[in-house]
Amino acid sequence: MHGGTIIDATIIKAPSSTKNVSGKRDPEMHQTKKGNEWHYGMKAHIRVDAGSGYVHSLTATPANVHDITEASKLLRDDDELVYGYSGYLGVEKRPDIVNAAKKSRIDYSINRRPGAMRRSPMSNRWDRHIESRKSSVRSKVEHVFRIVKRQFGFTEVVYRGIKKNLSRLFALFASANAYMLGKSCRMVIL
């Protein structure tokens, strides 16, 4: 591990149709609003090494669970710097992080909301540069999501239930790590 930790989440859709044998939607999946669109499914929360871009931790929840509630489960005691998007603002004030001695000493580098940058009279070129640098580090997590969703085609859940889909996600993110390792030409051919 080097370079800090990046935390993020992505929504994985589930079929909202009730045209199945039981006539019901998956009871473990829920819906959430992202932007102006509603999505039904689950969320995959991951922890990525900021230096290498490899996934180290993974949890899954229904889509309606906010990203900040899973943050403490993704962090390790030896983390020193954590990057996240503006949805993680205030993570250092959460009781599960404040009460953990080692997690409360972590430096949290969370992006500010874009609207806050426009409204702030103190927003200047330096502030925009700092936010841009945070975003450039945090973008490594998006590469992993692209590999799992586009390269491996996991845009919609395959099984009913979060546990079954979580085990599939473990395999997919491990494969994404191997894929990135192969792309970086570090793989040793035996």
Annotated domain spans of the chain: 5-183
Give pLDDT, residue 146: 95
- Are the C-beta atoms of residues 75 and 106 closer than 8 Å to each other? yes
Dihedral angle sign, alpha carbons of residues 53, 55, 56, 61: positive
Residue linked to tokens 């959460």: 94
Taking only the tens place, the pLDDT of each residue in 138-161 is 888 999 999 999 999 998 998 888
Q: Cα(139)–Cα(137) distance, rounded to whole angstroms?
A: 5
Taking only the tens place, the pLDDT of each residue in 5-15 is 999 999 999 98
**62 or 125, which is more confident:** 62
**24 or 164, which is more confident:** 164
Rounded to a whole number of angstroms, the CA Rg of the chain reads 18
Give pLDDT, residue 1: 46
What count of Cα atoms within 13 Å lies in the side-chain half-sphere of residue 190? Answer: 0
Q: Decide if pLDDT at 104 tops 70.
A: yes
Where do the H-state alpha helices sit in the chain? 67-74, 95-98, 114-119, 125-138, 140-146, 162-183
Give pLDDT, residue 159: 87
Taking only the tens place, the pLDDT of each residue in 63-102 is 999 999 999 899 888 888 999 988 889 889 999 999 988 8
Q: Decide if pLDDT at 189 tops 80.
A: no
- Are the C-beta atoms of residues 82 and 63 closer than 8 Å to each other? no
Can you tell me the mean pLDDT for 109-131? 74
Q: Which two tokens stand for residue 116?
A: 């806050």
Q: Decide if pLDDT at 114 tops 80.
A: no
Q: Which two tokens stand for residue 124?
A: 């200047």
